[in-house]
Structure 1
């Protein structure tokens, strides 16, 4: 058991966490005459280390996930979802969301396509909630920073929110609140082209390049904010606003995170810095969920597809679910850290 634990710690710290890289960067900056114990030196070290680490993991994960995703084009995903009914369909939709687009804006076109194809509204909403909030990449990245227990619980809770949210919308029979042009759209069932291994590898490589170009600016912004929080904002400030002494910290985190636009890769550095400064775990994870699921651009795009009543129901379900999860994580934080 001790051997397995040592192997896992090595994978978590040195492979996923790349602590060796942090040491290399620190030694390199020191050789250049920069004191990493100062605010400026620490900020530069944090920025370089996190940008390189997240970029390497991001490219590797996008490649692997895109290869898997090549087996699940929209028409095949539609057929898979069409085989299931009831809560089972919501669960499959939420799970399918883990191997599809990396941000909420890119999930919405698939949501529209699934809805116009006649799939259950609740099922498509389970997919829409799950896709940006939870993916295989986020699981690995969360493990690299927060550890396996927190990462797994985060993913499980995200899937629960997606399943419950979709089920509620299904039970409320909100089909008439989808915009007319989507409900009347004709579905063209196109068989997906059979791809060989070479085609899938080319597709995965193209997805890496395309997604990286879209995501990298947010990584730079997220790591930059994280570096400022990590080295310039006093710990007492973070604890006062997002610590255990503020009972409204979770709600504040969701309200601040919701209007922002980023994906999981851009929010993790900010979350990492906030947690290191004394913010509560549930508050930090609520912030991440709000940013990835309720970003203002995605809400604007979704408004083009659904009427205000359904839109506000979606926002309310996600908002309430994220807040409940935040407070639960705060209560049981001692079990996870």
Structure 2
């Protein structure tokens, strides 16, 4: 256990980095820890470096594994599963694709045009931006294994159940007709050497980090502001467990925001330190990543209003139920 604790502290939580940044703030910047300015600068530098390091490492590993499963191969695999199995596989597939909600929609179109079940494709569409392996490692680093596993588990449940409901409603007619007509060409899968896979992984790191870095910086900046400048009493009054509408407020605050999960984690960290319930924070994160306005605008070009409204209603209800449920069982998650 001592070895595990040490590895967890040094590799995931990066305690060595915390100490190094603390030394930088006090000795180089001449600021005292414990002051608002000193703590804010420490929060910003430490969280930014930590997130980028973990993000780069995890995306490289995940992308290297992904190189064995190109889209053409994935379509063939998922096409073998029907019903509940299709929803489960679609949701699990979303966890290994480090895409934001907007990036997931072109893949969603490809799955539909390939004739894959509508419910399974929506399970993928829900889970892909909400959860992935890189975010799991970041969540473990910031909040511990219990909360990280709980987040991924409830995210998968929302994705699977959401896909099942859409499948049961038989809403294929509410997908825009041009989507069904998109030509689906089977491309011969090229065999990649190890060197090619490493190159692919590096390109993925460059592409994804290049797209999400502004959201990370903004998220860390907001987190530093909440953590050190917003009085705890205000946060608790709006989002604290004493407010029975806290989950609803957090969900609807998160929906209009467009950000990747990596940008929401430092905000979530600051909210938890201010006494906000874990379920409320999870609802905020899921609202931001899954139901952002830009992604809904893009999706509206693919599906008709009735299906879009059904998708939003199902996911929003799922997020709210998850939030209240996790708040009720938070005693099992706080280590």
Structure 1 length normalisation: TM-score?
A: 0.97
Could you tell me which residue of structure 1 aligns to residue 26 of structure 2? Answer: 30
Matched, 1:63 2:75: no
Could you tell me which residue of structure 2 aligns to residue 302 of structure 1? Answer: 299
Q: Secondary structure at the match of 1:222?
A: helix
Q: Give 1:23 deviation, angstroms.
A: 1.1
Q: Give 1:111 deviation, angstroms.
A: 0.2
Could you tell me which residue of structure 2 aligns to residue 42 of structure 1? Answer: 39
Structure 2 gap ranges (5+): none
Q: Distance in 1 between matches of 2:244 and 2:104?
A: 33
Q: Give 1:323 deviation, angstroms.
A: 0.3
Contact 1:68–1:99 at 8 Å: present in 2 too? no
Could you tell me which residue of structure 2 aligns to residue 209 of structure 1? Answer: 206
Structure 1 gap ranges (5+): none
1:252-293 CA-to-partner distances (Å, cap 9, x unmatched) read 001000010111100000000000011111000110011010
Q: Give 1:6 deviation, angstroms.
A: 2.4
Q: Distance in 2 between matches of 1:273 and 1:143?
A: 15
Q: Distance in 2 between matches of 1:184 and 1:28?
A: 58
Q: Give 1:194 deviation, angstroms.
A: 1.1
Q: Give 1:70 deviation, angstroms.
A: 1.1
Superposition RMSD in Å? 0.9
Could you tell me which residue of structure 1 aligns to residue 73 of structure 2? Answer: 76
Contact 1:101–1:107 at 8 Å: present in 2 too? no
Could you tell me which residue of structure 1 aligns to residue 132 of structure 2? Answer: 135
Q: Distance in 1 between matches of 2:215 and 2:9?
A: 24
Which range moved further: 93-102 or 303-312? 93-102
Structure 2 length normalisation: TM-score?
A: 0.98
Contact 1:177–1:309 at 8 Å: present in 2 too? yes
Contact 1:102–1:132 at 8 Å: present in 2 too? yes
Equivalent of 1:11, from 7, 16, 37? 7
Equivalent of 2:280, from 283, 286, 298? 283
Q: Give 1:185 deviation, angstroms.
A: 2.2
Q: Distance in 1 between matches of 2:98 and 2:151?
A: 18
Matched, 1:177 2:174: yes
1:154-213 CA-to-partner distances (Å, cap 9, x unmatched) read 101111111100011001100000001002223111122111111000000011111111
- After TM superposition, the runs of 4+ consecutive aligned structure 1 residues lying more than 6 A away are none
